[in-house]
Structure formats: C-alpha cells, structure tokens
Amino acid sequence: MGTTEFIVAGLLPELAADFGTTEARAGLAITTFAVGMILGAPVLPMLTLRLSRRVLLTSALAVYAAAHVVSAATESFGLLLASRFVAAVATGTFWAVAAVVAARIAGPGRASTALGIVLGGGMLSTVVGVPLGAVAGQAIGWRGPFWALAALAVLAAVVVARQVPADPTGADARPRPSVRAEVASLRSARLWLVLLTCAAINAGVMSVYSFVSPLLGGRAGLGVSLVPLALVLFGLGTFVGNLAGGRLGESRPFAVLATAAGVTLVTVALLTVATSTVPAVLLFGLLGLVGLSANPVLVALAVRFGGDGATLPSAMATSMFNAGTAVGTAVTGALLTTSLGDASPALVGVVAAALVLVPVILLGRHGRLARGGAHRRSPAPSASL
C-alpha cells in the first residue's frame, strides 16, 4: 500500500508518455489518490463500525487488489484516476484500522513503538517498492508494477486473515461502537493541533517527493535512470526516521515533533542549492529522514487525545496526512507550468514546512506531551446511531 501511494512519483515520465499528456497532468494520479485517502480513512470505518476489524482489513486489501487490476488494464486516463481513487479509499480504510489494531496488540505504553513498526512498513516501500517499481516501469512499462501490486495484495489479504487476531470477546470485548462516540472523540483541541501538524508536514515533504523527476532531473541535472537511486536514499531516510521516531516518541514525543521543523531548513536548502546534483540528492535523502520521522508519534498522539478504542482519531490522522499531500501536489503541479518551473516543488515545500511550526509551537505551550496526565479518556459509549 505504501508502494502504490508513492510509485507514480517515479513513473511520471512513463505514465505521461503512455497517455499522451504532460507530467504535470499525470501528477493528478498522485493528487487523486490523496483525495481518496482523505475520504476513505474517516468515512468507510464509520460505515463499517460493526464489522470485525480483521474482516475489514482483509476486505480493504481485496478491493485494493481489484482496483489495481483495473489500473493496469485500462487505456483511459479518466478510468485510471477513478481506479486510483478506489484503491486510495481501500488504503485509507486499511491504515486507519491497522493503527488501532497495532496499538491494541502492543498494549499500554508501547503504542508509539508499534506504530513506528507499522508505518515503517509503509516507509520500507520507499526503499524497496518504489525504486524497484520505477526501474521495472522504465524497463517494461508502468503497468507491470501495478499488476505486481495487485498480486501482492491478494497474498497479503490471505496472510492478514490468518494472522491478525480476532476482536476480543466476552469480558475483554471493546465497547459497542457508535458513530456518536466516535464523533465525540474529536473534541480535543490538542487532537486538532496534531492533525494540522500531520497536514503541514506531508504537504511540505510530498510536494517535493511527488515531483522528484522535474526537481532532480530538470533542475539539478540528474539523469532519469538515476532517479530510482535518489528514491532509495529518500526511502532509507524515511524507514530509519520512522523506527527511530517511534521509539523516541514513547518518552519524548514533543522532541520528535520538533525535529519535523527541520523540514523547513531542508526545503530551503533544496530551493537554494538544488541546481547542483550531489547536494540536491543528499538533501533529498535528508528530507526523508527528518520529514516523516514524526509520523508514528503523531498517529499515537491522535489516538491518545481522541480516547482509548476510538478509530476516528487515527482515521483523521491518515486523512490529514493525505490532505497535505493533495494540497501540496495540486499546487506544485499547477506551478510547474508557470515561470517558476522546476523550482516549484522546493518552493511549495518551503511554504508548507514553515507552517509546521505553528501547531508544533502551540502543542508545546499546552504542556509537556511526554506526560500521560493530559490523556483524554473517551466518552462512555452511547446508543448507536
């Protein structure tokens, strides 16, 4: 799922050539996916509250696989965008439920570490899946990786169905879910500061990542065949950053959030020195390390401030990550056709990353987040709507 979210960034030239369009318009495949994640993460889990979480995870993978078959087979750019949207809804649903399941399995005091591992799996896709997909796409066409993703999703659905534990029953069963209780979990002001941080961080990072080909290829002079190597460097940074951020976040979550402000410095540097290949590639890798290291902490804080057992706070975190991606990529795609040209990704990254500082500073003023005393318990379950 992480691979399908990011893979288009490495296949923009092939995608644009196949459908006879520009790279900027081909970037709609990224924006459309982000919009599907925005809607899928909070809406579908609410519509399926009574389903077993194991069943919901497996069903999401099955829909994801079917959407990729359509993507790989279609000759219509419009149908490609529609199938990307459906795949994104399934992905958003999966991530929202998986975060709650991982936190439950890990137990008290280990949620951030568990989410670091789960999200680290998503970031591992940037080390393995996206670069391999980019190489395969250049060699055999962009459709090949989409067929492979469909097959892997079917395999993953089987494994999830066999390995993810069933929902607790009897005395250990979770409270009966209701839409009213889920919506009530969004009342925390700190939760919304965390969600704004999610959006701002992803807007800053993904506006750069999604248009890496024009940024490093057109502006910094990196050959198209070397773009996958830059993606590997970025992926290694995100993988290490997620694992480190998840572990550090257990004791010092605000320190991890503060490191996200480093995105501002990295994007400013990309804007000023991205005309040189080596510095630009190294900064791109550093962006992966600092830019997404706070993600598992942000999701853990969303779950904490929303209340135990609620799915909607983690769903909203997923949604806001992708809201940032949608806005960042849409603005960048529009600016690519202006006089700003190849500098657009870094410029949008600078503006979005600077906005990260606002909610982070406000969170700091609310007190030391490492203490659990600020934990807001979920309201008592009410009658289901």
pLDDT tens sequence across 361-382:
777 666 554 444 444 443 333 3
Q: Find the mean pLDDT for residues 168-176.
A: 54
pLDDT band at 102; cut points 50, 70, 90: confident
Rounded to whole angstroms, how far apart are CA atoms 312 and 299? 11
Tens digits of residue pLDDT in 27-44 = 888 888 878 888 877 777
Q: What gap in Å lies between CA 300 and CA 192, rounded to an integer? A: 13
Q: Determine contact, residues 107/96, Cβ cutoff 8 Å.
A: no
Residue 251 pLDDT class (50, 70, 90 cuts): low
Mean pLDDT of the 51-71 span = 90
Across the range 247-255, mean pLDDT stands at 65
H-only helix segments in 141-261: 143-163, 179-184, 189-209, 212, 227-248, 253-259
Tokens describing residue 261: 């402000």
Say which residue the tokens 């050959």 belong to. Answer: 223
Ordered alpha helix ranges (H), 7-76: 8-19, 23-26, 28-47, 53-73
Confidence at 83, pLDDT banded by 50, 70, 90: very high
Q: Are 227 and 217 in contact (CB under 8 A)?
A: yes
Confidence of residue 85 (pLDDT cuts 50, 70, 90): very high
Q: What is the pLDDT of residues 105-119, one digit of tens each?
A: 776 667 667 777 777
Among 53-67, 313-327, 369-383, which stretch is predicted with the lowest mean pLDDT?
Answer: 369-383
- Neighbouring CB atoms inside 10 A of 126's CB total 28
Q: What is the pLDDT of residue 257?
A: 63
Q: What is the pLDDT of residue 256?
A: 61
Q: For residue 84, what pLDDT is reported?
A: 93
Mean of the pLDDT values across residues 244-255? 66
Write down the pLDDT at residue 260: 65
pTM value is: 0.69
| CB-CB neighbours of 342 under 10 Å | 18
Residue 134 predicted with pLDDT over 90: no
The answer to whether residues 19 and 77 touch, using CB atoms and an 8 Å cutoff, is: yes
pLDDT value for 309: 60
What pLDDT is attached to residue 384? 27
Q: What is the pLDDT of residue 385?
A: 24
| Domain 2-167+175-371 grouped into CATH 1.20.1250.20 | yes
**In the chain, where the domains are located:** 2-167+175-371
Q: Coil, helix or strand for 60?
A: helix
